[in-house]
Amino acid sequence: MSLKRRIALSLSIAFSLIFGIMMFVVYISFNDFRRDEFKERFQKRLVFTVNFIEKSRDFEKEAPIFFDENSDNVLLNENIMIFNAEKELVYSTLKDKKITWDKTLLSRLDKEKTVYLEHSSPEIYATLRNINGDNYYILTSAQDVTGESKLDFLKYMLIFSYVVSILLIWFFSYYIVSKFLEPLDILKSDISEISVHKLTTPVVVKNPKDEIGVLATSFNLMTNRLNDVFQSQKDFNSSAAHEMRTPLTRMAFQLENLIQLENHSPKTKATLNQMLQDVHQLSDLTISLLLLSKFDKEGIASVYEEVRIDEVVFDAFESVHRNFPEFKMDFQIDEESSEDAFLTVKGVKSLLEITFINLFKNAALYSDDQEVDISIKETEFRIIVNIFSRGSIIPISEREKLFEAFMRGSNSQNKSGSGLGLRIVKRILEYHKAEISYTSLSDNENLFTVIFNK
């Protein structure tokens, strides 16, 4: 999950919990208020009843007339039952109904004097009062229809408000967080576009005082330092290569002249030839190291052109054939290639020649007969080049590291080489969005397959 979504989710959950708790507190508080208000109305009705009993001369005869005349709307569905000291019913507002009561409630009044049953339906407020020297048990029951309807209305309003508010909170949390972190998205986009050729291009710093601005400023400072390091490395590699190639070329030229112009003993001539081969190998190593550090994907892509693979193969073969006169090539185009095959890809011809030169050199050095078979097949989307040779195969345990720098297999013993050839091949083909793989068809058959995407 992205940082933006995590922040928005955390804020939304926090606000949802806080808002839900506040809604619950409001509901509970209103319920307590309703209960206290209803209880107060019970108490007012009790005082009214007690005053009537105290002032009445004949309570049992005057009660029906009194309560009928004073039946106001203080309590809805009000019922009053009055018991004497012997807990006998002396008056009830219930008419034409079988009157029942809870005797245990009257017993509780002996101890507690006042009992309020708010969770019963209807609610009951009972009290024991001494009026004019006599004890009376007064039970008043009623329903708080108005309060309960208001409480239900409040409950549904709170639920509706909570749902709507939560939806708005979740939406605006993500929107606000997205707005706040928009500079971070811009920074990420700018950073993703930086390459070796664009190290000096600074990322945009909108507000240098906030954390993202400080991060962008620090990143720009880092890229400037990296650019200085890379530039120093490139300058060193270029200078070192040029300085090394000049004396190596001179040494190779003098050795060739020395071998051709003077008569030497076979032993001396073999030594000179070995020295010449070592000089050529050192020169190839210098060029290879320069190639590994010089190019990158963006730089090469800017000079791409249409290149015919068959021409590249023949030019590479001619270059290798000069150093290995006995080297031979069998070239063919696969019959399954489409009729309008042009065998062309987008790339840099000189680099692709280096790719096949290195592959042909390996075939010339490690094959038993110094012969390589080349077959090219073009389909609608790809060009497949197979390089086949006979000789010692690469062990399975070494194939995973075959294209790493300075990797030389066990089959390369007593063979000259730098261990950079296949690494350069891999690097160049990656720049051209091509692939290379190695398989052994049998105990002495090697197959390199190069696939170009058209």
Most confident of 104-113, 183-192, 292-301: 104-113
Q: Tell me what pLDDT residue 274 has.
A: 75
Tokens of 206: 């909108």
Question: Comparing 152 with 340, which gets the higher pLDDT?
Answer: 152
pLDDT score, position 337: 66
Query: Which of 120-134, 287-301, 363-377, 389-403 is predicted least confidently?
Result: 287-301
**Residues 6 or more apart whose Cβ sits within 8 Å of residue 19:** 162, 165, 166, 169
Under 8 Å between Cβ of 203 and 220: yes
Distance of alpha carbon 11 from the chain centroid: 19
Higher pLDDT, 412 or 133: 133
pLDDT, residue 454, reads 78
Which residue spans of the chain are classified as CATH 3.30.450? 3-150
Fill in the DSSP letter of residue 96: S
C-beta of residue 151 within 8 angstroms of C-beta of residue 31: yes
Whether the pLDDT of residue 69 is over 70: the answer is no
pLDDT, tens digit, 9 for 90 and up, residues 358-376: 899 888 888 888 899 999 9
Share of the chain above pLDDT 70, in %: 82
> CB of 291 within 8 A of CB of 357?
no
pLDDT of 187 reads 78
pLDDT at 26 over 90: yes
Q: What is the pLDDT of residue 205?
A: 78
The more confidently predicted of residues 114 and 299 is 114
With bands split at pLDDT 50, 70 and 90, how would you rate the model's confidence at 190?
confident
Q: Give residue 293's pLDDT.
A: 60
What's the CATH fold of domain 211-292?
Helix Hairpins (1.10.287)
**Residue 124, pLDDT above cutoff 90:** no
Kindly state the average pLDDT of the residues 326-348: 80
Mean pLDDT of 172-190: 80
Kindly state the tokens that stand for 236.
């060193």
At the top level of CATH, the class of 3-150 is alpha beta
Domain span(s) for CATH 3.30.565.10 in the chain? 295-453
| 77 pLDDT higher than 90 | no
25-53 average pLDDT score:
83
Q: Give the pLDDT score at 375.
A: 93
* pLDDT category of residue 211 using cuts at 50, 70 and 90: confident
Choose the weakest-confidence range: 61-75, 248-262, 411-425.
61-75
Question: E strand or H helix at 199, and its extent?
Answer: none
Among residues 286, 294, 296, 292, the alpha carbon closest in space to that of 405 is found at: 292
pLDDT for res 369? 83
Region 135-149: what's the mean pLDDT? Answer: 82
The b-or-e profile of 239-255 (16+ CB within 10 A means b, else e) is eebeebeeebeebbeeb
CA–CA separation, 355 and 124 (whole Å): 100
Residue 195 predicted with pLDDT over 80: no
Mean per-residue pLDDT over the chain, rounded: 79
Average pLDDT over residues 415-433: 76
Given a cut of 70, whether residue 1 has pLDDT beyond it is no
Between 152 and 73, the higher pLDDT residue? 152
Q: Mean pLDDT, to the nearest integer, of 434-454?
A: 89
Start-end of CATH 1.10.287 domains in the chain: 211-292
Q: Do 162 and 182 form a contact (C-beta atoms < 8 A)?
A: no
Query: Which carries the bigger pLDDT value, residue 299 or residue 283?
Result: 283
Per-residue model confidence as pLDDT tens digits over 95-108: 656 667 777 888 88
pLDDT on residue 342: 80
Q: Nearest to residue 82, comparing CAs of 66, 55, 59?
A: 59
Better-scored residue on pLDDT, 4 or 124: 124
Threshold 0.95, pTM exceeds: no
- The pLDDT of residue 59 is 64
Please tell me the least confidently modeled range out of 26-35, 50-59, 215-224, 241-250: 50-59
Task: Report the 10 Å Cβ neighbour count for 235.
Answer: 10
Judged against a pLDDT cut of 80, whether residue 76 lies above it is answered with no
C-alpha dihedral, 266 to 267 to 272 to 274, nearest 10°: 110
Q: Token pair of 151, please?
A: 């409480």
Q: Which pLDDT band, with edges at 50, 70 and 90, does 119 fall under?
A: confident
Say if residue 152's pLDDT is above 80: yes
**Rounded Cα distance, 451 and 435, in Å:** 5
Homologous superfamily of domain range 295-453 = Histidine kinase-like ATPase, C-terminal domain (3.30.565.10)
Whether residue 160 is predicted with pLDDT greater than 90 in this model: the reply is yes
- Per-residue confidence (pLDDT) for residue 449, from 0 to 100: 94
Most confident of 68-77, 222-231, 324-333: 324-333
Percent of the chain with pLDDT over 90: 13
Residue 413 has pLDDT above 70, yes or no: no
